[in-house]
Amino acid sequence: MKKGVVVYLHVHQPYRVRPYSVFDVGQSHDYFGSLENNADVNDEKILRKVADKSYRPMIGLLQTLLDKHEDFSVSLSITGDFIDQAERWTPDLLDGFRRLFATGRVELVAETYYHSLAFFFSRQEFEAQVNKHRERVQQLFGITPKAFRNTELAYNDEVAKWADEAGYGVVLAEGWDKVLGWRSPNYVYQPVDTKNIKLLLKNYKLSDDMAFRFGDSHWSEWPLTSDKYIDWIRASMGDGDIVNLFMDFETFGEHQWEDKGIFNFFEHFVAEWIGQGNTFYTVSDAAQGFEPADVISMPDTVTWADTERDLTAWLGNSMQNEAARHLYALENDVIRSGDQGLMNDWRYLQSSDHLYYMCTKWMNDGDIHSYFSPYSSPYDAFLYYMNAIRDVRWRVMQHHRLGGFDA
């Protein structure tokens, strides 16, 4: 097998909670911001903007690269939140993805439909969401995923065991030094106590060079050229088999802007890497093509966020834990209602983005801008969210004809 680069891109847009006040509770059930004038929480406006800046040009570029280079392949995961929004406002994006999958060289990776952290709160709810996602992408793209990634790449030994038993051939995680120790992320691994499944680990240094540092003119390596980047990949790879570049799809055009040259960079990188006799693999191709170098255990949850690489960006403070507790406490009553609208709203509220907006970690380093949020503060994010939770509770009580309004 040739040495190869594995590119995996994650596609997602959340439903954002509008400034929803306690006076809206029990009055109106429209938590999500699509009707708001406030452009920061207007899901439709944001999707249309990102479609122009990122989705359409990147889908176009991937199509061009697939047409031009037989050796190019890529893996994608697309959340249900994104699919629902795109179906309503930008259906051409789904057609674009469908054409990419039709080439046979684009792999679709499974995940939770609602971009949730349900795995850590309710196994039953988690499985329902993974199943719903599988059915939806099967119906939409005619594909049954063989690879799995959990939301935010949140991974531990339990996730691997679950994915193994569910029949997936490979699962994705962060290649975090504290876990790897002397080992390199540039090999295929086997998760501990599993039978068939393989583990691919993100090469975070090289991924972040592209995803985070590319357009930063204060970076000592700026500007990043494809020549330099390929040199780094070779140096990092050493005797390894693969380099896993995992990042948000929106890296292209949204996080890194077109006028900084991100699309040109990627195009040249792909052409030169292949031109020098190398190749690209999808996540399943890589997992099947190489023998595991070692068995890896991650008892503690590792994610792809922050310097801590744990869940604290989503479940680090009291507000986040309180919000998640109240959210999942409603599970049985919401499911029992059989009310599809209510169930859907409750599940949109499970998106990890809501918890991320409540993160207060930046207060410690004073870097207000390091956490992106549509709200003016994490406290506002919490207030609006909790009011929405109260309304879900109100609807549950209406449905089951129980009690009245309470905290």
> Footprint of another protein on this chain (CB under 8 A)?
21-23, 25, 317-323, 360, 363-364, 368, 376-377, 379-380, 382-383, 386-387, 407
Bridge pairing between strands 295-296 and 190-191? parallel
Nearest CA to 389 among 1, 10, 17, 91? 17
At closest approach, how far in Å is the CB of 382 from another protein?
6
Residue 144 or 377: which CB sits closer to another protein? 377
Nearest CA to 148 among 22, 304, 284? 284
The one catalytic residue among 36, 125, 152, 250: 152
Residue 176 or 328: which CB sits closer to another protein? 328
At closest approach, how far in Å is the CB of 21 from another protein?
4
Q: Which two tokens stand for residue 250?
A: 């929106």
Supply the DSSP string of 289-352, one letter for each residue. Answer: HS----EE---S-B-SSTTT-STHHHHSSHHHHHHHHHHHHTHHHHHHH--HHHHHHHHHTTBH
Residue 106 or 383: which CB sits closer to another protein? 383
What number of helices (H) and strands (E) belong to the chain?
A: 18, 10
Torsion, CA 113, CA 119, CA 124, CA 129, rounded to 10? 0
At closest approach, how far in Å is the CB of 360 from another protein?
6
Residue 257 or 362: which CB sits closer to another protein? 362
At closest approach, how far in Å is the CB of 388 from another protein?
12
* Residues 371 and 361: beta-carbon distance below 8 Å: yes
Distance set, CA 183 to CA 5, 35, 158, 179 (Å): 18, 50, 21, 9
At closest approach, how far in Å is the CB of 63 from another protein?
44
Q: Which residues of 207-219 are buried (b: 16+ CB within 10 A; e: fewer)?
A: bebbbebbbeeee
Residue 259 or 365: which CB sits closer to another protein? 365
158 is catalytic: no
Helix (H) or strand (E) holding 6: strand 4-11
Residues catalogued as catalytic? 152
